[in-house]
């Protein structure tokens, strides 16, 4: 994944299950942490979007391919790349890596929603930032 946002994740006991590996739902937590930090880098963290723009970005769809198990004390990285910016939605790909090994591959669709829960257009200033990020991803 070229030009991806990279976010490190350490595996703690809380993340694992009795199979000795990271519990399958917890990759979605890792992915959300990484998206949050990517957005924070654009000055668009969750609490600021709610306060200043009256919107949230909610997950509308996700799919996960589990390729290799991750284990206690593993040092992982979530590589996040924006793949599409729509009027009211964003598509992203997120790979969880351990060194050069692909541990899990995710596709995520976020929708922009008003605080009352309706679909909403992405605010213009934010959309410009997303498009800039999308272009920088593609220019590789």
Under rule CB under 8 A, residue 86 binds a second copy: no
**Rounded least distance, CB 128 to a second copy, Å:** 23
- Element of type H or E holding 135: helix 124-138
72 forms part of the interface with a second copy (CB under 8 A): yes
Q: Which of residues 11-30 bind a second copy (CB under 8 A)?
A: 12-14, 16-21, 23-26, 28-29
| φ, ψ (nearest 5 deg) of residue 111 | -120, 145
* Inter-residue contact 105 to 65 (CB < 8 Å): yes
Q: Which of 45, 52, 54, 138 is in the footprint of a second copy by CB under 8 A?
A: 45
CA-to-CA distance for 59 and 123, rounded, in angstroms? 17
What DSSP designation does 86 have? -
Q: Which of 73, 1, 61, 5 is nearest to 37 (CA)?
A: 5
Taking the least distance from each CB to a second copy, the nearer of 25 and 132 is 25
3-class SS at 113?
strand
Does residue 17 carry a catalytic annotation? yes
Question: CB 136 → a second copy: shortest distance, Å?
Answer: 24
Cβ 134 to a second copy shortest distance, Å: 23
Binding site for a second copy (CB under 8 A): 10, 12-14, 16-21, 23-26, 28-29, 32-33, 36, 45-48, 56, 58-66, 69, 71-73, 117
């Amino acid at each position: 994944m070229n030009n991806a946002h990279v976010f490190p994740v350490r595996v703690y006991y809380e993340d694992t299950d009795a199979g000795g590996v990271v519990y399958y739902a917890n990759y979605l937590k890792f992915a959300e942490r990484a998206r949050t930090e990517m957005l924070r880098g654009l000055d668009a963290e969750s609490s600021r979007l709610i306060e200043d723009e009256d919107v949230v970005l909610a997950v509308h769809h996700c799919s996960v391919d589990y390729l290799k198990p991750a284990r206690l004390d593993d040092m992982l990285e979530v590589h996040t790349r924006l793949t599409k910016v729509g009027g009211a939605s964003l598509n992203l790909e997120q790979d969880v890596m351990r060194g050069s090994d692909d541990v899990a591959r995710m596709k995520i669709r976020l929708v922009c929603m008003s605080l009352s829960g309706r679909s909403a257009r992405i605010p213009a200033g934010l959309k410009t930032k997303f498009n800039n990020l999308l272009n920088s991803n593609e220019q590789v």
